[in-house]
Amino acid sequence: MATFDKKKIFNLELAIEYSDGGVISKQVTKRKAGNITLFSFDKGEGLSEHTTPFDAVVQLLDGEAEITIGGEVFNLVKGNSIIMPANVPHSLMATERFKMLLTMIKGE
């Protein structure tokens, strides 16, 4: 299942809106090997610490976020990306509202 049509041009940053006091997610595409999802977070919103069994690439499309990976804090701004390794605890917090593209690739 995918939210976005194949063979159609779209702008990732404009493809998701913000929600006051909330978080929005839109699935771009999903396959057995992994999935790609757009997220928007209002300032102060986030995801609590958790782990996943696959590497996850975060690409900030707008705004600013604090991402903690294995206890180490990283401050990202629009245009920055980071890889959150599989099975390592991580969390996200919007220091300013932000949009991100999350690409998760399952391990072998």
User: Domain segments of the chain: what residues?
Assistant: 24-106
Residues 6+ apart with CB under 8 A from 64: 75, 76, 77, 78, 94, 95, 96, 98
One digit per residue, the tens of pLDDT, for the chain of length 108 reads 457 888 899 999 999 999 999 999 999 988 888 899 999 999 999 999 999 988 999 999 999 999 999 999 999 999 999 999 999 999 999 999 999 999 998 866
CB-neighbour burial class of residue 40 (10 A; exposed 0-12, middle 13-18, buried 19+): buried
Question: Domain 24-106 adopts which CATH fold?
Answer: Jelly Rolls (2.60.120)
Token pair of 49 as six digits: 């610490």
- CB atoms under 10 Å from CB of 85, counted, come to 13
Token pair of 28 as six digits: 């771009």
| Maximum distance among all Cα pairs of the chain, rounded to whole angstroms | 40
